[in-house]
């Protein structure tokens, strides 16, 4: 019998608790595959705060540490500085990273901390029931903005990758998504590049993944992927935002 697909050793056999159509499980798989290909499953350390991925440590097979809401970059700073030869990453939602943890991530990037942040931007607070996040789009409904976000009340959504790219300590920032196989392959490449640049000691690396949340968006799965491409990708352009290595 020929094996045509084998689940990455970067994930345990635990069943995922994510909703149908959620991007978290797909991104977990890609991280596991990349670290496995880099022979880093014995050394990698992930820092996962609260949010829907609060149980990420039950799914990854390498070491993880739980951090308080928004504080993963501070924990990652300590871990990476004391374990400079090991790949370290934070895995953060937009409620976590762009709201309560906004100062943490800005200062980690400013300092050029040599870890990778994987930012799962689903434009909503998923775990707590669909409240407005700093990344919620204008007009997008949330439980705390039942008529849709307005500029007058909440300002314009924050483009985190572009903001961090202004800091010299940030050497690589790319925005990706996992709505179909070509985009998923690009995401895997971007994750690998981020980890490779981290291990080369270049500085802070940042991957933003535009992620569907059909449950809190109140959509079917196909509809949520279409909505993401038509609306989220229009405001948050996909592609490389910064690459200090680019010619």
Ligand X SMILES: Cc1ncc(C[n+]2csc(CCOP(=O)(O)OP(=O)(O)O)c2C)c(N)n1
63-66, strands of its sheet edge to edge: 63-66, 45-48, 88-93, 116-121, 204-210, 170-177, 239-243
CB of 143 to ligand X, least distance (A): 12
CB of 218 to ligand X, least distance (A): 15
End-to-end CA distance of the chain: 46
Residue 143 touches ligand X, criterion: CB under 6 A: no
Residue 133 touches ligand X, criterion: CB under 6 A: yes
Span interacting with ligand X, options 44-52, 79-87, 161-169, 182-190, rule CB under 6 A:
44-52
Q: Which is nearer to ligand X, 95 or 157 (CB)?
A: 95
Report the number of secondary-structure helices (H) and strands (E) in the chain.
Answer: 11, 7
In sequence order, the β-bridge partners of residue 185 are none
Residue 125 touches ligand X, criterion: CB under 6 A: yes
Question: DSSP 3-state assignment of 94?
Answer: helix
Residue 51 touches ligand X, criterion: CB under 6 A: yes
Radius of gyration of the chain (CA): 17
Residue 203 touches ligand X, criterion: CB under 6 A: no
Residue 126 touches ligand X, criterion: CB under 6 A: yes
Residue 104 touches ligand X, criterion: CB under 6 A: no
Residue 53 touches ligand X, criterion: CB under 6 A: yes
Q: What is the 3-state secondary structure (H, E, C) of 177-208?
A: ECCCHHHHHHHHHHHHHHHHHHHCCCCEEEEE
Q: Which is nearer to ligand X, 73 or 126 (CB)?
A: 126
């Amino acid at each position: 019998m020929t094996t045509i697909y084998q689940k990455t050793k970067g994930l345990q056999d635990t069943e995922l608790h994510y909703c149908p159509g959620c991007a978290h499980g797909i991104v977990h798989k890609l991280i596991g595959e990349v670290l496995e290909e880099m022979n880093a499953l014995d050394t990698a350390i992930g820092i996962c705060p609260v949010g829907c991925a609060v149980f990420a440590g039950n799914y990854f097979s390498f070491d993880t540490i739980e951090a308080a809401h928004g504080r993963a970059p501070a924990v990652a700073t300590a871990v990476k500085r004391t374990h400079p030869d090991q790949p370290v990453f934070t895995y953060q939602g937009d409620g976590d990273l762009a709201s309560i943890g906004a100062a943490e991530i800005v200062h980690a990037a400013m300092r050029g901390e040599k870890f990778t942040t994987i930012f799962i931007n689903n434009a909503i607070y998923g775990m707590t029931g669909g409240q407005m996040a700093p990344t919620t789009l204008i007009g997008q409904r949330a439980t705390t903005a039942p008529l849709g976000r307005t500029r007058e009340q909440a300002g314009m959504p924050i483009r985190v990758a572009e903001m961090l790219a202004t800091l010299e300590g940030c050497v690589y920032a790319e925005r990706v998504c996992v709505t179909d196989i070509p985009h998923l392959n690009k995401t895997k490449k971007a994750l690998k590049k981020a980890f490779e640049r981290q291990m080369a000691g270049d500085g802070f690396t940042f991957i933003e993944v535009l992620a569907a949340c059909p449950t809190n968006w109140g959509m079917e799965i196909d509809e949520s992927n279409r909505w993401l491409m038509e609306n989220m990708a229009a405001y948050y352009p996909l592609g490389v935002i910064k690459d200090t290595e680019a010619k």
